[in-house]
Amino acid sequence: MSGIDQFRAASGTLVDVRTPSEFAQGHWPGAINIPLFGDEQRAIVGRTYKQKGRKQAIELGLSFTGPALVDLSKALTKAAGGPDQPLRLYCWRGGMRSNSMAWLAALKDHPTLVLEGGYKVYRRWVLEQFERRWPVQLLGGRTGTGKTDLLIALQALNVAVVDLEGLAHHRGSSFGGLGQPNQPSTEHYENGLAEALDGYRKRQAPQIWLEAESSSVGCCRIPKALFEQMQQAPVLEIRRKLEERIDQLVEVYACQDPDQLRQATERIQRRLGPQRTQAALEAIKDQRWRDACSAMLDYYDRCYDHDLKQARETSNLDLSGRNAQAAAIELLNTGRVVAIDAP
């Protein structure tokens, strides 16, 4: 058995042996799911434990896993990358499921490490990360200023960036889920954020850049403690000419399904107002993408300007005429953004 610090520092493929539904709800990012039980099997074993006791539950569990041992053993070896390779295993509490799989892996001479306390301990570690003080800096800007592209370009230049929208599979507006994979649960979103922050802690990043967001990115909620730090962080506001912003939005959304664009527009019609909503819907119908974007920008600009007033410290920079890569280089050269020393 291993404490979480030792477990994190160890080598070996990370294997989550919980059920598929447990894994889908949230797991250690990068882990492979090799479930000892299926969802229904685990439910039956759990009921048996409560009603008939531990021995009966173990016997029932063995009846489920016995026929599957060969397949489980092969899956563990494949996950490890071959015979004799190390594995790190965890279940919900670090109990029978992970220890049983460790026993099976040892039959093939895989060095194994089991996480003491299991995924519950990992989740405790995740939540503790958001209580740390982080050198947070925010990149702001009205809709269409290309904030996400700029953050990605900065990250390519060795700047510490945590992509809140990328981890959430959502761009943060009514239209934010279009063309994106399904969103993770908030639990799994937190796991990804914690791992990203911890990676920069180890590299002693002088700044960690996040996009200025509301407390939710689609259905994913930013952890309260981290969001409170964001509310206190300085904001660098990116500005671009209106035509460039519209170009950016057309590039992102004109390729999306028109029916989904219409539905996203209708979701915010109360805030857009009847005239802007009608203008946007007609433009979408006629595939007049620039007109559709223009019809909605006034609403989104007013929302952004209101949020910006809440920021404690702001500065701005007009990046009109520069692409994301050129803008990122300018930010570094002027000292507004500081890169991490090469690892």
* Catalytic center residues: 91
Angstrom CA distances, 322 to 253, 319, 329, stand at 21, 6, 10
Q: What is the DSSP string of 265-303?
A: HHHTHHHH-HHHHHHHHHHHHTT-HHHHHHHHHHHHHHH
Phi-psi region of 273 (alpha: psi -120 to 50; beta: other; left: phi over 0): left
Q: 87 - beta bridge partners?
A: 13, 112
Secondary structure of residue 317 in the 3-state scheme: strand
How far apart (Å, rounded) are the C-alpha atoms in residues 68 and 64?
7
User: How far is 118 from 113, CA to CA, in rounded Å?
Assistant: 11
Cα distances (Å, whole numbers) of residue 29 to 15, 123, 146, 236, 339: 10, 12, 28, 30, 25
Distance CA 289, CA 342 (A): 43
